A and B are shown apart, each in its own frame.
Chain A
Amino acid sequence: MTSVQKINDFVIKIATVNGTGSASANSLLMKALFRMGIPVTGKNLFPSNIQGLPTWYEIRANHDGYNARTGRVDMMVAMNAQTYLKDLAEVSPGGYLIYDSTWPRDKQLKRDDIHIIGIPLAKMANEHFGAARVRILMKNIAYVGALCALMDIDRDVVRTLLEETFAAKPKLIDSNLEAINLGHDHAREHFECPLPIRAEAMDGTRDKILIEGNAAAALGCLYAGATVGAWYPITPSTSLMDAFEAYCRKFRVDPDSGEKRYCIVQAEDELAAAGMVLGASWAGARAFTPTSGPGISLMSEFIGFAYYTEIPAVFFDIQRVGPSTGMPTRTQQCDIMSAAYASHGDTRHPLLLPADPAECFELAAEAFDLADQLQTPVFVLSDLDIGMNDWMVSKLEWEDTRQPERGKIFDAEDLANMENYYRFLDIDGDGVAARTLPGSHPRGAYFVRGSGHNQYGGYTEDGEEYQQVLDRLMVKWETARNKVPAPELTAAEQRADCGIIAFGSSHGAVTEALDRLNENGIHADYLRLRAFPFSDAVQEFLDRHDRVFVVEQNRDAQMRSLLLLETRARRDQLIPVLHYNGMPIPSDIVFESIRDHLRQEAVA
């Protein structure tokens, strides 16, 4: 059996049982690699459960900064006997599997093409620690120690991390270090260390941070000046509001009076959450709701209402697999169509498509500016992979000179100086009329109602007047087309054989696939969509390529459908590359699909 030397290029997968404290061990391991300067990403594959079901954590370290999943597992830490067989099968040839040999499983763990490493983790933890709960936690910390020896992970870095984490509880530093040393020393004594697959300090994480998309989006809301958040708890969006609340507690509580400069309402359901966002935005606050697909379904009536009554609102859809129970803790890009046209009647909504947590921050702030300027609901379509996983991104930045773009609002002074105010009259020709805020001036009063208003804001059931409003909303849509974030083009180094369109969390996989395609002599231009409506740059890209692969994480090729509906693309021009099993898209799927398609085409 041969093992190829792999330095700073490996995947560690840890199989544990949820509720056993493995998350802190895994986070410690990942941060240690990060502090050694090695680019890392972590993917948490977890069940819809609190305790007792299998869970996996996948850490990819890559010196080139590739952050997508791959089909490879170089090091499996198999801590869950329930999943031994599956975990064993998943290790790539030449790879390693560590298991807890307190209970020998030689027969069960048999594979000739990989290395099996047994370490009596439970036995060591039981001998050194007292309380049952502590033993379980320390067993997990001990495998981090073993990995330090086997993979040459810097123990001083681990120590520093423990000292920082438990600064307030010094006793825990000692016990954690003891567990680290137990695992480390055992591995050192019984195995040849380090393995060919190992870490080595480098300089690849300077000016980077590790952050989840939901936390970054929450920071975007904070910095955009959002004050009202209404929500109903739903995985995987919950941590967005949790983070917003935590940041507000830190930055928006008056130190003297204890008064809060924010208001978070846990609503009775998503319908109410949407109503609260509309009410707050109408009254002049910046308001938002984080939700997921089922929430968007429930909010749909209000979303259409906000479209037609022109109320700014920001909806974060952290997409997950649907419907209902079973797969809600798995990721997909599956709400493209439902968000783009959410609600009844003629409706369409701007979508922003962040590709990583840094863009969650940037586009969250942008979403509020767009919603205010366009006076319409704006969606930020993130997903579970971006929202709940740890990504390495460049440090977030904010310009202190940046002020919120609040759009057209007539205040009391404006109103006092005008003869008449008409809520929906398009004076500037961009499809956006000035609004007024309640509490400002009696002349600014208007009556919000559904389909029955004319351009002056008066009640109407007149067909022509209705159509006039509806047509003007299309003028506004064209304004939106030029305001939303432009797509990002990565041009091939030489004449391209094809085009690739992708968006959101598929970006990492596509970036890596592009390099592999290039190595295989296939050259592709890549356009990463960042928003809907599609700007002219999207049409130009389509015009320049006969074949465009559209990479997305859903079964029905929703983005491809949207492109067919909203551009002049032909059906045979857009080739779907789909991944939809609930796991983040791996780069090899993208590479292989495109390569195989082009090969078959060449044969035919």
Chain B
Amino acid sequence: MTYIAKPKVQWSGQRHNELGLTIRDYEGGLSTLCAGCGHDSVTAALVQAFWELAIRPEQVIKLSGIGCSSKTPAYFLSGSHGFNSVHGRMPSVATGALAANRDLIAVGISGDGDSLSIGFGQFAHAVRRNLNVLYLIENNGVYGLTKGQFSASADPGSKAKKGEENRQQSIDPIATAITLGGSFAARSFSGDKNQLVPLLKAGLTHPGCAVIDIISPCVTFNDHDGSTKSYAYTRAHMEAATFTDLVPPAKTIETDYAEGDATSITLHDGSRLKLKKLDPEYDPGNRAVALKFLEDHRVRGQIVTGLLYLDSDMPDFHAVSGTSKKPLTSMSHDELNPGADALAKLQESMR
């Protein structure tokens, strides 16, 4: 058995969020991933983000596909419904769940194998539908559960643990999401909680498909010299383009950014996204600029991080579909069934 309930320890002096919940209330089962796995840091960042946003756990659904990354929904928010689906198919399950109940807050957790190979199609279509989901790709360039095969995000020239070199081109989920018409595309690193937590909060608040590619090193199969997804390589080659902070609707903005390089974007729920450009050349509202910036850095072997593209006005899945604001799961039978008389009348045209 690898399922271990995590004891809830409460002590005086714990901080409570607006709902009166402590950070412990946002935790899940004990992780069974390898010690030092990047994914556990992402889980911790998620716990922090949900707690800080004071979201009720029961409002959240956690969905995943198959792989090490897809195990992680068991490790946070034990008060939320979770759905560990089949390989590469998390986006379709999320689409159905949100079609049924648009009030749910969905977080989909996937990996590079799950989203860029077997599930590439579903990833693409969730992005182009602008499904209201926080879509995380815990990206380590390698298949962990099947012990070390290259994934589609492995860079050409990157070496496997036993020395074999990857010769195929890599898929960049962020460049892909931008070209697919994605409304929110960001990259981060599991080892940079200061950057990651605000990005997760921004993604959760964003009214559409928020894709965050998180470089999350695999300590067992892909953390050696020659790997371009190792802790050391990522730290040495990270290039933050922006820094993001999310200001909830009720709070006033404390300006700690230098004038001129920070933009404030008001989201539909009234919260504001503070975006600080670390590179003066950068424009996260412009697809062409974002793609060129990504490409220029890729050529130099650099990993660009931060919120790289944002269009918070793009209509989401339900806006495009014209679905009622009231969730379909809340509809009464009378609202759905036209009744016997209508059926009789309809059939007059069938004679």
Contact = CB atoms under 8 A, between A and B. Distances in A.
Interface stretch (B57-65, B184-192, B229-237): B57-65
B101 A439 contact: yes
Interface residues of B, number: 63
B179 to A, nearest CB: 17
Contact of B58 (A223, A250, A440): A440
A439 B86 contact: no
A283 B102 CA distance: 10
Contact of A225 (B80, B104, B337): B337
B41 interface: no
B96 A281 contact: yes
B343 interface: yes
Nearest to A465: B1
Given A209-B350, A254-B324, A260-B323, A447 B82 contact: yes
Interface string A218-257: 0100110101101000000000000000000011101001
Of the candidates B78, B80, B84, B329, the one having the most CB atoms from chain A within 10 angstroms of its own CB is: B329
A271 B89 contact: yes
Contacts of B92: 230, 267, 271-276, 279
Interface in B89-127: 89, 91-101, 103-104, 121-122, 124-125
B125 A268 contact: yes
Contacts of A395: 344, 347
A448 to B, nearest CB: 4
A53 B83 CA distance: 48
B337 A223 contact: yes
B324 to A, nearest CB: 4
Given A283-B97, A302-B86, A445-B78, A458 B323 contact: no
B331 interface: yes
A399 B121 contact: no
B226 interface: no
Contact of A275 (B74, B85, B347): B85
B280 interface: no
B61 A251 contact: no
A416 B129 CA distance: 36
B340 A262 contact: no
Contact of A283 (B104, B325, B344): B104
Nearest to B351: A209
A280 interface: yes
Given A269-B121, A272-B121, A279-B92, A227 B100 contact: yes
B339 A400 contact: yes
B71 to A, nearest CB: 9
A261 B93 contact: no
A195 B160 CA distance: 84
A490 interface: no
A305 B86 contact: yes
B343 A252 contact: no
Interface in B1-31: 1-3, 29
A228 B347 contact: no
A151 to B, nearest CB: 21
A403 B63 CA distance: 31
Contacts of B29: 459
Contacts, number: 233
B328 interface: yes
Contacts of B336: 222, 225, 227, 252, 261
B79 interface: yes
B89 to A, nearest CB: 5
Interface in B27-68: 29, 56-59, 61, 63
Contact of B100 (A287, A448, A459): A287
A443 to B, nearest CB: 8
A439 B336 CA distance: 21
B173 interface: no
Interface string A426-447: 0000000000111111111111
Nearest to B101: A283
Contacts of B91: 272, 275
B217 interface: no
A461 B1 contact: yes
A445 B339 contact: no
A448 B74 CA distance: 10
Nearest to B29: A459
Nearest to A267: B92
Contacts of B328: 227-228, 261-263, 285
B103 A283 contact: no
Given A209-B347, A275-B85, A449-B84, A400 B340 contact: yes
A447 B344 CA distance: 44
Contacts of B322: 258-260
B255 interface: no
B347 A396 contact: yes
B254 interface: no
B259 interface: no
A257 B323 CA distance: 11
Contact of A287 (B58, B96, B333): B96
Contacts of B343: 219, 223, 396-398
Contacts of B347: 209, 211, 395-396
Contact of A450 (B78, B79, B86, B96): B86
A442 B100 contact: no
A210 interface: yes
A277 interface: yes
Given A259-B324, A302-B89, A228 B58 contact: no
Nearest to B87: A301
B93 A263 contact: no
B338 interface: yes
A301 B82 contact: no
B297 interface: no
Nearest to B122: A272
A164 to B, nearest CB: 8
Nearest to A211: B350
Nearest to A279: B96
B268 interface: no
A251 B342 CA distance: 9
Contacts of A461: 1-2
B298 interface: no
B335 interface: yes
21 contacts: A209-B350, A227-B100, A230-B96, A250-B346, A259-B322, A261-B335, A268-B125, A272-B122, A276-B99, A278-B85, A279-B95, A280-B96, A282-B83, A283-B98, A284-B101, A302-B89, A397-B343, A445-B82, A448-B82, A460-B1, A462-B1
Interface of B: 1-3, 29, 56-59, 61, 63, 73-74, 78-86, 89, 91-101, 103-104, 121-122, 124-125, 129, 318, 321-325, 328-329, 331, 333, 335-340, 342-344, 346-347, 350-351
The 4 closest A-B pairs by CB, nearest first: A279-B96, A275-B92, A442-B79, A285-B100
Given A283-B61, A438-B58, A445-B58, 18 more contacts: A34-B351, A211-B350, A222-B337, A223-B337, A259-B323, A261-B324, A276-B95, A279-B94, A283-B100, A284-B329, A285-B101, A397-B343, A398-B340, A439-B58, A444-B58, A445-B82, A447-B81, A462-B1
